[in-house]
Amino acid sequence: MPLSTQSQADIDQYILIASLDNARNLSNILKAISFKDHAIFNATQNGLKVTVEDSKCLQANAFIQADIFQEYTIKEDTVGFQVNLTVLLDCLTIFGASTTPGVCTALRMCYNGYGYPLTLFLEEGGVVTVCKINTQEPEEPIDFDFCSTNVTNKVILQSESLKEAFSELDMTSEVLQITMSPSHPYFRLSTFGNSGNAHYDYPKDSDMMELFQCTKLQTNRYKISLLKPSTKALALSCKVSVRTDSRGFLSLQYLVRNDDGQICFVEYYCCPDEEVGEE
Partner 1 sequence: MLFKNNIVDKQYIMDCVATGGNVKVLAKAIHSLSRIGEELYLEPLEDGLALRSVNSSRSAFACFLLSPLFFQKYQAPSDQSFRCKIPIKSVQAVFKSLSSLDRSVEKCRIQLNSEKSRLTITLHCKHGLLKTHNLSFQDCESLQAVFDKESCANVLQAQPRLMVDTVLHFPPSQEEVTLSVSSDRVWLRNHVEDDADSSRAMMTELCLSSEEFDHFAISTQTSITFCLKELRGLLVFAESSGLPISMYFDEPGSPVILSVTDSVLEANFVLATLSEDSHPKNHGKSNTKHPDTEQPTDDFMNDDMDSFLIAMETSELPGPSHVPTSPPHPVPTNNRKHPASEEEQEEALAEGPPNKKFCSLFFGSVLPTLSQLTNQTIQSQEVLASDSEDENQAETS
Give the residues lining the site for partner 1 (CB under 8 A).
161, 164-165, 167-168, 170, 179, 184-185, 188, 194-203, 205-208, 219, 279
Nearer to partner 1 among residue 106 and residue 176 (C-beta): 176
Tell me the closest approach of the beta carbon of residue 188 to partner 1, in angstroms. Answer: 7
Nearer to partner 1 among residue 23 and residue 165 (C-beta): 165
Nearer to partner 1 among residue 16 and residue 180 (C-beta): 180
Exposed (0-12), middle (13-18) or buried (19+): which is 151, by Cβ within 10 Å? middle
Nearer to partner 1 among residue 55 and residue 172 (C-beta): 172
Tell me the closest approach of the beta carbon of residue 249 to partner 1, in angstroms. Answer: 20
Tell me the closest approach of the beta carbon of residue 194 to partner 1, in angstroms. Answer: 8
Q: Residue 90 gets which letter from DSSP?
A: H
The answer to whether 106 and 3 have CB atoms below 8 angstroms apart is: yes
Tell me the closest approach of the beta carbon of residue 2 to partner 1, in angstroms. Answer: 45
Question: Which of 252, 253, 264, 267 has the alpha carbon at shortest distance from 220?
Answer: 252
Nearer to partner 1 among residue 54 and residue 170 (C-beta): 170
The answer to whether 139 and 180 have CB atoms below 8 angstroms apart is: no
The answer to whether 259 and 22 have CB atoms below 8 angstroms apart is: yes
The answer to whether 58 and 269 have CB atoms below 8 angstroms apart is: yes
Q: Residue 19 gets which letter from DSSP?
A: E
Report the C-alpha gap between 167 and 221 in whole angstroms. 18
Tell me the closest approach of the beta carbon of residue 254 to partner 1, in angstroms. Answer: 19
Nearer to partner 1 among residue 67 and residue 160 (C-beta): 160
Tell me the closest approach of the beta carbon of residue 158 to partner 1, in angstroms. Answer: 8
Q: Which residues contact 249 (CB under 8 A, 6 or more apart)?
A: 144, 146, 269, 270, 271, 272
